[in-house]
A and B are shown apart, each in its own frame.
Chain A
Amino acid sequence: MANITKKVSWSSRADESGATGEGTPLLNGSEQPRHSRQLSEGRSIFQIGRLSTVDLEEEITSEEDSLRGRPKEIPHNEKLLSLKFESLDYDNIENQLFLEEERRMSYMGFRCLEISRWVVCGLIGFLTGLIACFIDIAVEELAGFKYQVVKENIEKFTEVGGLSISLILWAVLNSAIVMIGAIIVAFFEPIAAGSGIPQIKCYLNGVKIPRVVRLKTLVVKVCGVICSVVGGLAVGKEGPMIHSGAVVAAGVSQGRSTSLKRDFKIFEYFRRDTEKRDFVSAGAAAGVSAAFGAPVGGVLFSLEEGASFWNQMLTWRIFFASMISTFTLNFFLSIYHNKTGDLSSPGLINFGRFESDSVAYNLYEIPLFIAMGAIGGLLGALFNVLNYWLTIFRIRYVHRPCLQVMEAMLVAAVTATVSFTMIYFSNDCQPLGPEHTEEYPLQLFCADGEYNSMATAFFNTPERSVRSLFHNQPDTYNPLTLGLFTLTYFFLACWTYGLAVSAGVFIPSLLIGAAWGRLFGRLLAAITSSGSIWADPGKYALIGAAAQLGGIVRMTLSLTVIMVEATGNVTYGLPIMLVLMTAKIVGDYFVEGLYDIHIKLQSVPFLHWEAPATSHWLTAREVMSSPVTCLNRIEKVGTIVDTLSNTSTNHNGFPVVVQVTGSDEPAKLCGLILRSQLIVLLKHKVFVELARSRLTQRKLQLKDFRDAYPRFPPIQSIHVSQDERECMMDLTEFMNATPYTVPQETSLPRVFKLFRALGLRHLVVVDDENRVVGLVTRKDLARYHLGKHGLEELQLAQT
């Protein structure tokens, strides 16, 4: 068993092959029940090569002995793959039940299905829009109340003294609100932490993240995001919208809620991973579209993140969902703002209109924009590196829920403190505008009729700050204010992202970028002196915001379109695209995007677009897991139960083999069956003997499998009596009779392509006589990645 640990290096001596071959079953044999058939133990086929570890830097031999016999424990790092993640079953299981059902279904039935897909998409859009609207109104009301209280307090104490009490009040209010948000996230649903975009990215990539699309997650997410924005953290509510949209989609399309134990008996056909995932991509698009008022951007976001499974009709449906979502939000917000029917406030964040003459740009400004893109890339890379170290620290040391809540509260308190100090010491006073664009103007030590301009940036919800940075008069902020604001907000945002609160990183990035972009614009205007109408700070704030956001998240096409749509000005398409390109190129030189970093840190087996370069020499034989636990076509129930309940091998797919009776030939592959299917079969006791005795027994239908979806009961909850263990089970009807297979010599990129393009979960590796040699799963492929020292291999770990 221990011989095969990564740390042990095998010398490639040919004469050892026999001996080690004998030992091979130990790899798993000692723990595995022997009833399961183990094929191809590699004895005759392979010679033993030198198995070696990939992380060469670590010590290899000294600890070797002491390590034997027990699993090795290492601190969490990014080079791990977690066992808890599984693939989605995107590939259709074409078993006999499926074929039967398809035969039974009429032409009208298929038409109805198509129509109900549209209905579902419309519902997704509508509900997502409603949720966005709810979040927006709740944040506006609660934050308005909070700022009003603090403002009155500050005004009171400015005169009579005791401003430190206001500071404490502000800090305590913030931490109290954030505490609520952190408690519900840390104790009830940790998966709702963060923006949710990494999780949705993984889901669209085909990874089943546990509990990510549950109703409870949605509730926690929505309440959490309201708390964290109202609590004054450096966060936005846009990222969580995408997650919320995805949850809505996953819920609506199923026509029932497992959490509430309500089944509406509709949309039953959609209760499988294939359909659900399509709807989730529509939900994510609807979320983006509600968040930014960018329907096309939403569609492209889904396209960028989950594009391997795409078709034209699906795109069109997703676009429909997006449009419905943004206009639902629009409509309800218009009611809220007492302008019923006015459909002109799309999106949670509204960049306002960039229309006046001064925001036109000229050819000679393009190099400036590109330079800003580079700055954005650098700053973004710095942000990501800092956040990476912080997140590692958090995973290793701040993993207890109560600690996480405390940390969030501390961040909230410090955010308030820093903001207050900044405002307190700022000397930047500006006259009040005629129509009061400033929501909560703080006078503090400014002259009467003026307000503290640092306060408009800090004493406000982040969205409003972004808008005032984009649109306020050119001389609203002096350069010192902008510089200080950029600096503090950069570190605050970096510190905040990754806390156990649900919150997005879009708005903080935009805010940082807008601040230094505006600074850039002001400095340009100062340098060029001659009245320079062209260097409008608002324009540079927009470009800076795009650069910073691009530098942090590294999205490309969808982000460009989102930004263009959010500004409502197509002419900015070119500069924004150039800026995002530059930011991505510069940033990628140093470190990956923030979302990718977090995906890695969560040890998710994420499949990128392509297999890592220079991996053509790897063949399926090296990649696959072997030996494979196979089942006979007619298998004893006891064997199946034992195989499933074996805790050490949490396999989900089992190749089904058939043994030619009477001959000595090894069994040949004839199908593939999933754990979930076996569990349903056991639950319904579909045994050969029972079927014979009770002829009237209802035949199992695909519906029975759907009813159990998606939370199949664990094997422990299924009771199988001793007598039943002796029964036999015929898997012929239920297994997927035509699983995808590859020969052993297939190269890794080929396997990868097949896997990625078809959305497979299991890929059987067979030899030339169709005997099962091994099984390739997502984790086998995802463990290779191109690091600094060439091809590296990630390790599997229990998390």
Chain B
Amino acid sequence: MSLSKSSLSLLLFILNMSTIALSDGLNLTALHSADKLKQIPSLNRAAAAVVVNSPMFKPAVEPIFSLNLLSSFPEDLEISDYCKELLNIFGQRYVAYVSCLVPAARPVTVCQKCFSSFGSLREAYANISSESGPGNVSCSESLLRGDRLMVVNQLNTSLEELWTSSACDNCVTKGLQRLTNDTLYFMNTLNQTDDCFDKYRQGNHTELCKNCKSTYQELNELYGRMEKNQTMCIDIEDSMNMTRRLWSKYYNCSVPREETVPVIAVSSFMLFLPIIFYLSSFLHSEQKKRKLIHPKRAKSYTSLMNIQDKLG
């Protein structure tokens, strides 16, 4: 009885925390899961209230049957202390990861900043889902698949999805130890470009375009290479996008359209060719004539013309 109570309140706490943490997240998936989560606490709260109340008052009118069922679980269906502990750790790390994610939403730095907390979260989940614990206790059965809602499972899935779609694996070494060398190198180059932009920000932008072109070009090529190798994560993509936008839109360093005249000249020359061709073939080519053949026909009273006259 007390076991279930405390576990429920713990869960409630975690859920509330995560709801708060997630509700101001910008990410759509986060919002979505938060929506889902909002419903869960209220349900649980009601359940908890009933559970708390039930042993003290026993109003005759209430559907006691179900309450009694809840309160009188046999020992082996309750979750063990070990599992409770695991759940607790998972909750803490979940909160930690989410609270790291939210500030990193814009501009996107979710991979650089939060990879370590994701690693620990993953570890916690792995512990829960592992089949064997001390004394051969498996928590995955009770914690992950115990009910239809599968709260822990769903929470984890949504964050795993977030991780996958951000492609952070490309920027972080195996085992989530540190950022890859490629990423660090890219960040370095990016910083150089940003420094350059900062340097020439004041005054004429043409100056900036001219002076920062080499570093920007280098960055662009590096990005192109990484794009080809598929070694990019959302952080790199986003920062590159921002830089490009700065370069092209804000500082207006795009290539201008300058060669209109030669292009028009060449195209009108090309368009002129067919006209010459058709004219010359009309004038000089011999028109193809067809020889009419006169079929052998029997003659008769009626002829097409007569009938057509009649019909007409």
Contact = CB atoms under 8 A, between A and B. Distances in A.
Nearest to A70: B291
A49 B304 contact: no
Interface stretch (A178-186, A394-402, A454-462): A394-402
B290 A798 contact: yes
Interface stretch (B35-43, B127-135, B266-274): B266-274
Given A46-B300, A48-B299, A50-B303, A397 B245 contact: no
Contact of B288 (A399, A790, A793): A399
Interface string B14-40: 000000000000000000000000000
Contacts of A790: 308, 311-312
Contact of B308 (A74, A80, A791): A791
A406 interface: yes
A407 B266 CA distance: 19
A417 B304 CA distance: 53
A251 B295 CA distance: 35
Interface stretch (B44-52, B153-161, B255-263): B255-263
B308 A49 contact: no
Given A50-B305, A80-B290, A414-B270, A445 B255 contact: yes
A393 B282 CA distance: 8
B289 A73 contact: yes
A317 B264 CA distance: 57
A624 B297 CA distance: 7
A626 B254 contact: no
B208 to A, nearest CB: 15
A690 interface: no
A261 B296 CA distance: 40
Contact of A626 (B240, B289, B296): B296
Contacts of B311: 614, 790
Given A164-B263, A410-B277, A414-B274, A49 B302 contact: yes
Contact of A75 (B257, B266, B289): B289
B291 A73 contact: yes
A162 interface: yes
B287 A50 contact: no
A791 B304 contact: yes
Contacts of B292: 5-6, 71-74, 795-798
A610 to B, nearest CB: 18
A56 B290 CA distance: 19
A7 B24 CA distance: 92
B149 interface: no
A40 B245 CA distance: 91
Query: Could you tell me the dominant secondary structure of chain A's interface residues?
Result: mixed
A633 to B, nearest CB: 23
B266 to A, nearest CB: 5
A449 B240 contact: yes
Nearest to A417: B270
Interface in A375-398: 393, 395-398
B180 interface: no
Contacts of B254: 445-448
B244 interface: yes
Nearest to A399: B288
Given A417-B266, A446-B254, A73 B290 contact: yes
Contact of A71 (B259, B263, B293, B304): B293
Contacts of A396: 287-288
Contacts of A6: 292, 294
A10 B263 CA distance: 65
B298 A421 contact: no
B154 to A, nearest CB: 24
Contact of A400 (B245, B255, B285): B285
Nearest to A424: B263
Interface in A405-441: 406-407, 410-411, 413-414, 417-418, 420-421, 424
Contacts of B294: 4-6, 27, 71, 796
Contact of B259 (A75, A164, A780, A799): A164
B308 to A, nearest CB: 5
B220 interface: yes
B289 to A, nearest CB: 4
Nearest to A10: B299
B210 interface: no
Given A396-B287, A790-B308, A27 B296 contact: yes
Nearest to B261: A164
Nearest to A54: B304
Contacts of A791: 304, 307-308
Nearest to A5: B294
Interface of B: 220, 240-241, 244-245, 247-249, 254-259, 262-267, 270-271, 273-274, 277-278, 281-282, 285, 287-308, 311-312
- 4 closest Cβ pairs, A-B complex: A447-B248, A73-B289, A448-B244, A626-B298
Interface of A: 4-6, 10, 12, 20, 24, 27-28, 40, 42, 45-52, 54, 56, 71-76, 80, 83, 158-159, 161-164, 167-168, 171, 393, 395-400, 403, 406-407, 410-411, 413-414, 417-418, 420-421, 424, 444-450, 614, 617, 621-622, 624-627, 773-774, 779-780, 789-791, 793, 795-799
Given A449-B244, A627-B298, 20 more contacts: A5-B292, A52-B304, A74-B292, A76-B290, A164-B265, A397-B281, A398-B281, A399-B288, A407-B274, A447-B248, A617-B302, A621-B298, A621-B300, A624-B297, A790-B308, A791-B304, A793-B304, A795-B292, A796-B295, A798-B290
